[in-house]
Amino acid sequence: MSMYKDIAWNGLWKQNSILAQLLGLCPLLAVSTNLVNAVSLGLATILVMMLSNFAISALRALIPYEIRIPVFILIIAALVTVVDLAFNAFLHDLYLVLGIFIPLIVTNCIVLARVEAFAAKNGLRASTMDGLMMGVGFVWVIALLGAVREFVGQGTLFSGIEMIFPTLSGIQILPVDYPGFLVAILPPGAFFVLGLLIAGRNWLEARANRRVREHRQHDQPPPANSLPA
């Protein structure tokens, strides 16, 4: 059980694909112009990561070490193609919204990174779990990034949701005459917001580490011969 807890904690925070590993920035920056797009890409990414981790964990005994990377890429590309075709055939309305993002998932190196670092060495259930958690870690960061960029850039949230749920519509948060802040929507804005998010994570981590150190100092008095720093 604690192993699954570790996998979840690593995916969501400690080894978060974006905030800690800085992987998969290309689709992240391209698609996070608003919340709905960001979450859409994120959900498709979770699906592909779970499938690819599952497939490679299942086949790992058959894959020679020397050619593992080409085989991984082959499997990931094939799975993405199958997901793309299946979406187009069976969930066509969703495909019209998500369709352009699905091929982008191949460019997300976090998929290959998790396959190589985890699925090739671990069992089926743990690998699928790792795909899910790394995917969820990707989704919450890209969703936050999309929400901030949409809010600052256009003053709305959930714009475009009517393309997925025709009965809903986006929320105008700032007054309609809000002129918009174009930089937030253009690529440089993505870098600014991402930089702030990473700084925020580092700050939280540094604070947590400092607390741990202070606790230790309280619990055990420093050795007598130690010099004040």
Instruction: Note the residues at the interface with another protein (CB under 8 A).
Output: 33-34, 62-64, 66-67, 70-71, 74-75, 78, 81-82, 85-86, 88-90, 92, 95-96, 153-154, 156, 160, 162-163, 176, 180, 182, 185-186
Tell me the C-alpha distance between 154 and 156, whole Å: 5
* 30/198 with CB nearer another protein: 30
How crowded is residue 32: how many other Cβ atoms within 10 Å of its Cβ? 28
How crowded is residue 183: how many other Cβ atoms within 10 Å of its Cβ? 14
User: Token pair for residue 126?
Assistant: 């743990």
* 176/224 with CB nearer another protein: 176
* 71/109 with CB nearer another protein: 71
Indicate left, alpha or beta for 16 from its phi (over 0: left) and psi (-120 to 50: alpha).
beta
Instruction: Tell me the HSE value of 111 on the side-chain side, using a 13 A CA sphere.
Output: 30
CB of 191 vs another protein, minimal distance in Å: 17
Q: Which residue type is seen at 186?
A: L
* 16/33 with CB nearer another protein: 33
Tell me the C-alpha distance between 91 and 94, whole Å: 5
Contacts (Cβ under 8 Å, ≥6 apart) of 50: 128, 131, 132, 135
* 53/154 with CB nearer another protein: 154
CB of 227 vs another protein, minimal distance in Å: 58
CB of 119 vs another protein, minimal distance in Å: 15
Q: If you search the block for the tokens 């993505």, which residue do you land on?
A: 190
* 71/198 with CB nearer another protein: 71
CB of 141 vs another protein, minimal distance in Å: 20
Tell me the C-alpha distance between 91 and 108, whole Å: 23
